[in-house]
Amino acid sequence: MLVGLDQAQLQDLAADLGFERYRGRQLAKWIYGKAASGFHEMRDLPRPFIDALAARYVVSELLTAEHKHSSDSVDKLLVHNGDGQVYECVLLPYEDRVSCCLSSQVGCPMGCTFCATGLGGFDRNLTVSEIVGQYLALQRLSARRISHVVFMGMGEPLLNLRNLLLAMKILHEEVGLSYRHMTVSTVGLVPQINQLAAEKLPIHLALSLHSPLDEIRNRLMPVNHKWPVETVVGAMRDYQRATGRKVTFEYLLIDQVNDTREQASAIARLVKGMPCFVNLIPFNWVDTGQGFARPSKERVQAFRKVLESSGVNVTERVERGHDIAAACGQLAGQHTGRFANRRSLSTVPLRS
């Protein structure tokens, strides 16, 4: 499979097949620049080269299990490689840009108690080819160029850091996306946040904070037992300094759980002086057995006001694709009945 190889590797491949190295560069243009799905589309490549490639390789092994289009122009693909392990990606067109949301793992081992993906357990990391393949599959659906990528689909991207970095490198070098337009959202794995900071790339980092209080964050996100609030926010501060990029704190609002004024004030104290945004995300209802509910608009506004009056930059997630279950993990959950396979949190592999 060729998706996932960079230009140098495609040039080696062309040379190995007995063709000039620059044919590899042309191949990269077709695969990444034009999102070609097969060799038949590559019109300026010589027939013998196409035949030699087609006899040995496929461009991509990604198959679509399901394609949903929402009433507000969001496309969601459920993809797999023929092994029954499905993962999802979403195309999000806006007036000024086209963005996409990609998965990094099949399932997720982090076990957050509000998350459909977390409840379904964990299968495996996605390969570089599978990560870049999602982008290309979505680009084929989009008349406009996808300029922004967020890793907020299934999985915890920083548990798959090696493949994530290689995939982002290909998106940067071969597809031509800016690192500044790539967002990695993490549950808060401190060693990996530090590793990413050491790369000194201007990648936008978002932390799923969801509560400034350890006792509540522990309940929502088991990872907090390992890296509590002060520690992980400290790592975000270091990341901000190392990269010069503003960071984002995502804040899922759950009625009467983490949407109190006290917690809004505590967030303001926690992020004081840090160039950052707090992005409010009203809970997308999933039956997690916890009795969680979405707060009223009034409660969301009151929460927002407390933050803003303390000088915090606040954004609110505009909800899209509601009618096709475009929130984290929902469609794949419906498709495979993953809720039946819930695994124990004690199996969560946390590296220190």
Active site residues per annotation: 88, 328
Give the residue ranges of DSSP H helices in the chain: 7-16, 22-28, 47-56, 116-119, 128-141, 161-170, 190-198, 214-220, 229-243, 261-270, 297-309, 330-336
Specify the residue, 4 or 155, whose C-beta has the smaller distance to ligand SAH. 155
Q: Which of residues 316-335 bind ligand SF4 (CB under 6 A)?
A: 328
| One residue of 110, 126, 197, 325 binding ligand SF4 per CB under 6 A | 110
The site partner of 286 among ligand SF4, ligand SAH, none (C-beta below 5 to 8 Å per kind) is: ligand SAH
> Rounded to 5 degrees, what angle do the CA atoms 289, 216, 280 make?
85
Nearer to ligand SAH, 5 or 115 (CB): 115
Binding to ligand SF4 (CB under 6 A) within 189-218 occurs at 208
What CA–CA distance (Å, rounded) separates 188 from 129? 25
Q: Does 168 bind ligand SF4 (CB under 6 A)?
A: no
Q: Output 93 or 282, the one with its CB closest to ligand SF4.
A: 282
Tokens of 298: 């009034």
Residue 4 touches which member of ligand SF4, ligand SAH, none, C-beta under 5-8 Å by kind: none
Closer residue to ligand SAH (CB): 37 or 218: 218
Q: Give the residue, chosen from 156, 174, 250, 259, that forms a contact with ligand SF4 under the rule CB under 6 A.
A: 156
Per partner kind, with CB cut-offs from 5 to 8 A, the member of ligand SAH, ligand SF4, none near residue 303 is none
What DSSP line would sit under 125-167, residue for residue? EPPHHHHHHHHHHHHHH-SSPP-EEEE-SSS-GGGGHHHHHHH
Angle, CA of 88, 89 and 91, to the nearest 5°? 150
Interacting residues toward ligand SAH by CB under 6 A? 114-115, 152, 156, 185-187, 208, 250, 252, 281, 283-284, 286, 327-328
